[in-house]
C-alpha cells in the first residue's frame, strides 16, 4: 500500500492529492467513471454509498449519498465540465451540508511502468473554505474540545 499525499499550501485555496495505485490507468479511469465500480470504493467503509445520478459527459450532473449506520446522510453533487478523460476529469463539487461552498476539482491519471499516479487538484472559493474542508484546519486548537466532545457524545442518549 502506498501513502496518500495531501498538500494544502498556505495562502492559496488549493488541496492537492497524490496517490499511486498498482494498475494501468484505463482500469483506474473505469473505476472513477463507471458508477457500478465507483460505488464499490469511494468513501469510508462505514458509509454505504448510493449514486443518484452519474452522467459522465460534458455538462453531465452527478449526485451521490454516503449513508451512515445511524441513518445520517451526506449528500454531494456537481457537474462535469468537458468530456472526462484519463488526462482530465473536471467537475464542480458541493457538499450539501455546506451549500454554496463549491470547489472545482480536476483529477488526472498518469501511468508509468504499469502503475498509475492519481493527481487531484481542488480549488476552493477561499482559504477559509479550503481549511473547513481539511481536518487540520478544524482540529487545530480544538483538540481538547474535541476530546470532550467525544465524551459528551458518548453520554448522549439516542434521539428518537
Partner 1 sequence: MGVLHNSMVMNEMAADQLSDVFGALADPTRRAILARLTAGDATVAELTAPSGVSQPAISRHLKVLERAGLVSRTRRATARLSHLEAEPLRAATAWLVTYREYWEESFERLDALLAAMQDEAPDRAPGDERSIP
Main-chain phi, psi angles of 22, to 5 degrees: -90, 70
Quote the cell numbers at residue 3: 501513502
- What minimum distance in Å lies between the beta carbon of 17 and partner 1? 6
Task: Write the DSSP string, 19-47.
Answer: EEESS-HHHHHHHHH-HHHHTTTSS-TTE
Interface region with partner 1, contact rule CB under 8 A, candidates 17-25, 56-64, 78-86, 102-110: 17-25
Is the backbone of residue 82 left (phi > 0), alpha (psi -120 to 50) or beta? left
17: contact with partner 1 by CB under 8 A? yes
155: contact with partner 1 by CB under 8 A? yes
Cβ contact 16:111 at 8 Å: no
Among 16, 68, 83, 87, binds partner 1 (CB under 8 A): 68
Interface region with partner 1, contact rule CB under 8 A, candidates 53-61, 84-92, 102-110, 125-133: 125-133
* Distance from C-alpha of 75 to C-alpha of 79, rounded to nearest angstrom: 14
9: contact with partner 1 by CB under 8 A? no
139: contact with partner 1 by CB under 8 A? yes
135: contact with partner 1 by CB under 8 A? yes
Among 14, 79, 93, 101, binds partner 1 (CB under 8 A): 101
Amino acid at each position: 500500500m502506498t501513502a496518500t499525499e495531501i498538500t494544502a499550501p498556505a495562502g492559496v485555496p488549493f488541496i492537492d492529492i497524490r496517490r499511486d495505485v498498482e494498475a494501468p490507468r484505463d482500469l483506474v479511469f473505469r473505476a472513477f467513471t463507471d458508477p457500478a465500480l465507483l460505488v464499490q470504493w469511494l468513501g469510508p467503509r462505514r458509509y454505504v454509498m448510493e449514486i443518484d445520478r452519474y452522467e459522465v459527459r460534458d455538462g453531465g450532473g452527478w449526485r451521490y449519498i454516503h449513508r451512515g449506520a445511524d441513518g445520517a446522510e451526506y449528500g454531494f453533487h456537481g457537474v462535469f465540465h468537458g468530456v472526462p478523460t484519463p488526462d482530465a476529469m473536471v467537475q464542480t463539487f458541493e457538499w450539501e451540508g455546506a451549500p454554496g461552498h463549491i470547489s472545482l476539482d480536476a483529477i488526472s491519471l498518469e501511468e508509468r511502468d504499469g502503475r498509475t499516479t492519481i493527481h487531484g487538484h481542488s480549488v476552493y472559493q477561499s482559504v477559509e473554505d479550503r481549511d473547513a474542508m481539511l481536518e487540520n484546519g478544524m482540529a487545530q486548537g480544538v483538540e481538547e474540545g474535541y476530546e470532550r466532545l467525544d465524551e459528551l457524545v458518548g453520554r448522549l442518549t439516542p434521539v428518537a
